[in-house]
Structure 1
Amino acid sequence: MGLSEDEKRVGAPLETHVSGVDDFSSPKDETVRVDIQREHELTVKEVFVKHPALVFWAFYWAMAGVGWGFDAQVNGGMLSVQSFRRDFGYIYQGKAVLPADWLSAFNTVSSVGQFFGGFACSWVADRWGRKAALLMGVAVVAGGILGEMFSSVKGAFLVSKLILGFGLGFYLTLSPLAASECAPVAFRGIATAGVQFGIGTGQLLSNVAIKGFGGWESRWAYRAPFAIQLFFCAFLLVLLPFAPETPWHLARVGKREQAKKALRKLYGASVDINAKLATLEATIAEEEASGSEQGSFVQCFKSTNLVRTAISMGVFVCQHFTGIIFVLGFSTYFFELAGLPTEKSFDLGIGVTACGLGGNILSWIIMNSFGRRRIFVSCMCILTAILFLIGIMDVVPTAGAKWVQASLTVVYAFFYYVGLGAMAFAILGETSSTSLRAPTIALATATQAVMGIAFNFAIPYMVNPDEANLKGKVGFIFGGLALIATAWSWFFVPELKGRTFDEIDRMFQAKVPPRKMGSYQLTPY
């Protein structure tokens, strides 16, 4: 899709095109212009120094991701727990094995719950607010966890995971939704990438819990890791009454005074709250004028919103096409099947997630310098190569090949968290329009769920010793899928760093190709 000469406007610096000082005629317009200019000038360091409450509440919403990450990792981790396989499986060649059909059911049913939970969260969040939606999510998650802990038969455990998954759908939808609506431009990418840090923290704690309790002979070898998840519920529940509702939601539903209070709680008394509210209302008014209807899933697939929805969903398809469930979710079990000692498998599982968290922290440092698109596409290429190498190592008949595979898994985790893990949430929080953010993120959550169902169902049949027993050769399958995802990302992943939501709206309305948005120069208002 080409751009006309008038659209390119590459002759002047970006700031002169964005600010448009002489184009605002009314006092209100001037207030908005000044606020936008100040937001562009705000740095990450200033956010930490001048607005620490904003940083804390962004961390709070990211904690919802911890619960999701813990559950996602504990699914695969339970395979390495002997007492879990003993209580819910059968003996195969002298070893306790969980049947592949039940294993697939356990792993996929949570994703089924998340699919419906994301849509329910979108409706509740737009109707009653983000805080009300989180309260409902915490209640459902706590119920599911208790069910997991005290289930003694496969059917009851399956229903408990379904309930838990429904609540986790709320978590995964609310984390990027609230984080993106609370943060200014300079901190928005870090805040939304913080969701992946929360997920990674949950995965790390899950591996630590499994290592700590997994060797026990009693049922508490797997019940104790499940019980630890209740801590995250308690954390969210205790602080929820003090958390500010997101200003975007309050402004959209016309609660101006409450929106001012929320902005003041986030930014402090030194900021012109009236100017910030005016900017929010101006962006909302423009979106309403363009026909966007809040909370409408149908609108997500109309006109330019279709492109925004496709990008929001597509980045999470990329995550799954690179084999995230196989490499990270089943890492400990994969190490055992590769022939590594059980103790070493636990240690490597912890090392994988710890290294990934290091990569996520690095992403905070580099994302505002290199941009979302460059990091995402580069890491897609790296992960594709690693997957093929994992497959190749599986056909190399040497004792050291399994350790090379394990090392590649650690490297994979690092680059995944730097690129796809962190950038997907940043792209999601920036690409979705303010009026359709809740349903768009719900659709992204549904995409996660569908991909999770498909791969959690298929992977056990690929790797189980009583099934295909492909082991590391699965790397060839995901390497091919990753090639397709890399090609898609080159054309459709946009660069939106440093742009306000109003500027992002204008670029999509102008039908700028996503891969050219980083260099696109906005014309004055």
Structure 2
Amino acid sequence: MERRETGKRNEVTENIMLASDETRGSSTLEHSITVRQAVHHYRSAIFWCLAVSMTVVMEGYDTILLGNLWAYPTFQLKYGEYVGVSSQTRSGYQLTPAWQAGLGNAAGVGAFFGALLNGILVNRFGQRNTIVGALIALSCFIFVVFFSQNPQVLLTGQLLCGIPWGIFATSAPAYASEMLPMVLRVYFTSWTNMCFIIGQFIASGVLRVCLSRDDEWGFRIPFALQWFWPAWLIPILMFAPESPWHLVRQGKLEEAERSINRLQASDCPISHKQALMAIVETNKAEKDLAVGTSYKHCFKGVELRRTEIACMCFMGQVLCGLPIAYNATYFYEQIGLPANITYSLNIGGYGLALFSAFCSWFFLLPRVGRRKIYLGGAFTMSLLLYLIAILTSWKQHHGVAEAQAYLTIVWKAAFQLSAGQLGWAIPAEVGSTRLRQKTIVLARNSYYLVHTVGTSVQPYFLNPRALDLGARAAFVWATTALLFFAWAFFRLPETKNLTYEELNRLFAQRVPSREFAKTEAGIVKHRESERLASVATGASQNSVV
């Protein structure tokens, strides 16, 4: 049996080498194919990418669930302490800032370790098996959250649920980036962000509907709905194709070709053998560049620059004001808005965010470069946050609180037009293919670290028993957004319309970030493998402006 398997693998290898002349134009074909053509030829791949990305809906659902329960009357009564009735605390109960920070960050801590674990599990078991296993684990962990009777058990449940959420958040963009052609890459890596918004929108609607309940089911129903997703995703994803890039890295060329057969339509202009040969050649070129497959290789040579860009793009989502604008219900309560208005505004905000994400898909991403979109978005969000903070000087005037609330909704629109989409898309395409999974893991974990800090300090900024800054807290996030804009201006390259092979060449040649869009990747000359390897390992000269 083993001899027969070896014979089949050798036959596939010989066929690939015979087809090498035909595959020389595969990069040209990938550049020439339109979005409409790609949707037709890769409809099966699109289906599976959408299905895998739906796992992220659960993390999006939970991301705002607890943060918006701080202002929930029945949740405050169950887990909070009596602080007295006021315009800021109408139920008379509040969670302490310490518990708000602990509960708000528990899932993020679990996701941090889940993402790290995912980088190891995917290399060994592949994307499909890792995702299905994580879904089964999540189904068990939700029991802890649902039946929690005190903050300690709730924190434990959130920590455990965070582990599979970290796996989903780092698997979905990597899976999409490996299954689809270049022209569809940004749409379905950023679709992960759309799934976050869908989860957030569902959560805000569920919270608004359950607000009328005056018993514990008011917040336990939202917890229970988390079982809905594993129930139908597990049986579907058990039949998902494995990534051909992963199979090539494992030396399973026959399985990789079968996977490509499942992903492409029979009339696709890029043949199965051409697609497979392109993967094999890119993998070989990265080996020549001395690109390894472990975490340590992400910090060596030119890979350090690519890791920096991926991490900063994810961190930019937080630095541009996520902690204040996406935990908006508690912010609304602290600036004096009642609960019914608070949760209605929350639904409207996520509805506008979803609409903005679709606008980004159909109008911005096809026409404007990633760099311009991210720079414009960061600068706009900084201005909006400064305006929210400045308006606090007139907070005694009628209508100022509502104006600040509406500005946070406008911020959500700006976020989804820029950082919300590209914070997922750029990390999934900027890393080398051999390190893609681990680059995304490191980038997402950078997000979790910064998000943990942000959501830890934010309750202290707003809580009336702590700093009680109210909307003045927006000054902090406006400044971090401006600092991120400065970094992006000098360090963020343009990746639109570049294949993975072309990105490899540009990074190996150390092209400055602001010149990526001006550089014609097709005329970048091939260097000898020894020279490229020496450049890649020149860690002392890896900082390029």
Same topology, TM > 0.5: yes
Letter of the aligned partner of 1:62 in structure 2?
S
Is 1:65–2:56 an aligned residue pair?
A: yes
Q: Which residue of 2 aligns with 1:520?
A: 519
1:498 offset after TM fit, Å?
A: 1.1
User: Structure 2: how far apart are the matches of 1:516 and 1:325?
Assistant: 33
Does structure 2 conserve the Cα–Cα contact (< 8 Å) formed by 1:143 and 1:163? no
Partner of 2:130: 133
For residue 219 of structure 1, what is the amino acid of its counterpart?
A: E
Q: For 1:366-405, what aligned pairs fall within 5 Å after superposition?
A: 366-396=364-394, 397-405=396-404
Give me the whole-angstrom Cα distance separating, in 1, the residues matched to 2:232 and 2:253. Answer: 29
CA distance in 1, matches of 2:182, 2:474: 38
The more displaced of 471-480 and 232-241 is: 232-241
Deviation at 1:431, TM superposition (A): 0.3
Q: Following TM superposition, by how much is the alpha carbon of 1:299 offset from its aligned partner in structure 2, in angstroms? A: 0.4
CA distance in 2, matches of 1:235, 1:473: 44
Deviation at 1:371, TM superposition (A): 1.4
Residue 211 of structure 2 is matched in structure 1 by 214
Please say if 1:411 is aligned against 2:421. no
Amino acid in structure 2 at the alignment position of 1:226: F
CA distance in 1 between partners of 2:513 and 2:20 (Å):
29
Q: What is the identity, as a one-letter code, of the residue corresponding to 1:404?
A: A
In the TM superposition, residue 357 of structure 1 has moved relative to its aligned partner by 0.9
CA deviation vs aligned residue, 1:112-157 (integer Å, no higher than 9, x gap): 1111110001100111100111122212322222211101122111
2:491 corresponds in structure 1 to 492
Corresponding position of 1:347: 344
Residue pair 1:140, 1:163 contacting (<8 A) in 2 also: no
2-structure distance, mates of 1:234, 1:503: 41
Match of 1:17?
A: none
- Aligned match of 2:430: 431
What residue number does 2:163 align with?
Answer: 166
Paired residue type of 1:395: S
Q: Return the alpha-carbon distance in structure 2 between the equivalents of residues 485 and 468 of structure 1.
A: 25
Q: CA deviation at 1:28?
A: 4.3
- State the alpha-carbon separation in 2 of the partners of residues 483 and 386 from structure 1: 11
Residue-by-residue CA offset, 1:333-362 (whole Å, 9 max, x unaligned): 211222222111111101111111111111
Q: Distance in 1 between matches of 2:48 and 2:167?
A: 18
d(CA) in 2 for partners of 1:123, 1:515: 34
Pairwise CA distance, 1:215: 2.9
- Out of 180, 200, 203, which is 2:200 matched to? 203
SS at match of 2:415: helix
Map of 2:334 onto structure 1: 337
Q: Which moved more, 1:469-478 or 1:31-40?
A: 31-40
Q: Secondary structure of the equivalent of 2:241?
A: coil
- TM-score (norm: length of structure 1): 0.93
The answer for the alignment partner of 1:364 in structure 2 is 361
Instruction: Tell me whether 33-42 or 499-508 shows the greater mean CA deviation.
Output: 33-42
- Pairwise CA RMSD: 1.3
Q: Give the deviation of 1:27 after TM superposition.
A: 5.8
- C-alpha distance in 1, partners of 2:436/2:102? 31
Q: State how far apart, in whole Å, the 2-side matches of 1:318 and 1:424 are.
A: 7
Q: Which residue of 2 aligns with 1:13?
A: none
Q: How far off its partner does 1:29 sit?
A: 4.0
Matches within 5 A, 1:206-245: 206-245=203-242
Matching residue of 2:310: 312
Distance 1:45 1:146 in 2: 44
- In the alignment, the residues of structure 1 paired with residue 495 and residue 406 of structure 2 have an alpha-carbon distance, to the nearest angstrom, of 34
Q: Which residue of 1 aligns with 2:535?
A: none
Counterpart CA distance in 1 for 2:83 and 2:231 is 40
SS in 2 for 1:206: helix
- Determine the structure 1 residue equivalent to 2:477: 478
Which stretch of the first structure deviates more once superposed, 77-86 or 192-201? 77-86
The answer for the alignment partner of 1:10 in structure 2 is none
User: Which residue in 1 is equivalent to 2:323?
Assistant: 325
Return the offset for 1:267: 1.1
1:275 aligns with 2:266: no
Per the alignment, residue 511 of structure 1 pairs with 510
Deviations 1:412-460 (A, max 9, x none): 0011011001011111111011000111111012112111211111111
Give TM-score, length-normalised by structure 2: 0.89
The answer for the alignment partner of 2:447 in structure 1 is 448
Is contact 2:52-2:237 (8 Å) kept?
no
Whichever residue aligns with residue 241 of structure 1, its letter is: M
The residue that corresponds to 1:148 in the other structure is: 145
Paired residues, what number? 498
CA distance in 2, matches of 1:114, 1:30: 45
Counterpart position of 1:19: none
Match runs of 1:44-123 below 5 Å: 44-94=35-85, 95-123=92-120
1:253 aligns with 2:247: no
Greater mean deviation of Cα atoms: 332-341 or 160-169: 332-341
Quick check: 1:368–1:497 contact (8 Å CA) kept in 2?
no
| Deviation, structure 1 residue 368 | 2.5
Q: Distance in 2 between matches of 1:143 and 1:512?
A: 48
Unaligned runs of 5+ in 1: 1-25
Is 1:467–2:466 an aligned residue pair? yes
Q: Which protein has greater RCO, CA pairs closer than 8 Å, 6+ apart?
A: 1
Alignment match, 1:6: none
State the shift of 1:38 in Å: 1.3
* C-alpha distance in structure 1 between counterparts of 2:226 and 2:515, whole Å: 43
Cα contact 2:370–2:494 (8 A) shared by 1: yes
Instruction: Look up the match of 1:21.
Output: none
CA distance in structure 1 between the aligned counterparts of 2:151 and 2:408, rounded to whole angstroms: 31
Q: Please give the per-residue CA displacement for 1:228-255, whole angstroms capped at 9, x wherever unaligned.
A: 1211222321211221111111111111
Aligned counterparts of 1:509 and 1:27: Cα–Cα separation in 2:
29
Distance in 1, Cα, partners of 2:56 & 2:34: 26
**Structure 2 SS opposite 1:129:** helix
User: For structure 1, which segment, 277-286 or 84-93, has the greater mean C-alpha deviation from structure 2 after superposition?
Assistant: 84-93
- Equivalent residue for 1:12? none
